[in-house]
Amino acid sequence: LAKTTQPISMDSYEGQEVNITCSHNNIATNDYITWYQQFPSQGPRFIIQGYKTKVTNEVASLFIPADRKSSTLSLPRVSLSDTAVYYCLVDGGFQKLVFGTGTRLLVSP
């Protein structure tokens, strides 16, 4: 199972762009990179998924370099409500999902 490494915590201020980088050196050819967000006392929520280059949706962008050994989740103009834990997963199929300890993002006023 591919393991991911991401910072334990990050701090930011409202209105700033936040970039969370995840390394996944052992990613397999068929694996996707998926990010989830989790608020306290709630289940995780899907944010974005990608295979290579750049993916953008209404809440985030995901940048994946050509070697796919890392990825960066970009949250534009964060607000207080973005304070949460963000998990980077290498997705090789449902039975292979491994959640690491995640990155705790704290957004301050």
Contact positions vs other proteins (CB under 8 A): 32, 34, 41-46, 49, 87, 91, 93-95, 97-102
Q: Pick between residue 34 and residue 70 the one whose CB is nearest to other proteins.
A: 34
Q: Pick between residue 13 and residue 99 the one whose CB is nearest to other proteins.
A: 99
From the CB of 62, what's the least distance to other proteins, in Å? Answer: 12
From the CB of 27, what's the least distance to other proteins, in Å? Answer: 15
From the CB of 102, what's the least distance to other proteins, in Å? Answer: 6
d(C-alpha 51, C-alpha 14), whole Å:
29
Q: Pick between residue 9 and residue 16 the one whose CB is nearest to other proteins.
A: 9
From residue 52, give the alpha-carbon distance in Å to each of 8, 12, 57: 24, 27, 15
Query: What residues are paired with 21 via a beta bridge?
Result: 72
SS3 of residue 10 by DSSP:
strand
Residue 74, burial from CB neighbour count under 10 angstroms (0-12, 13-18, 19+): middle
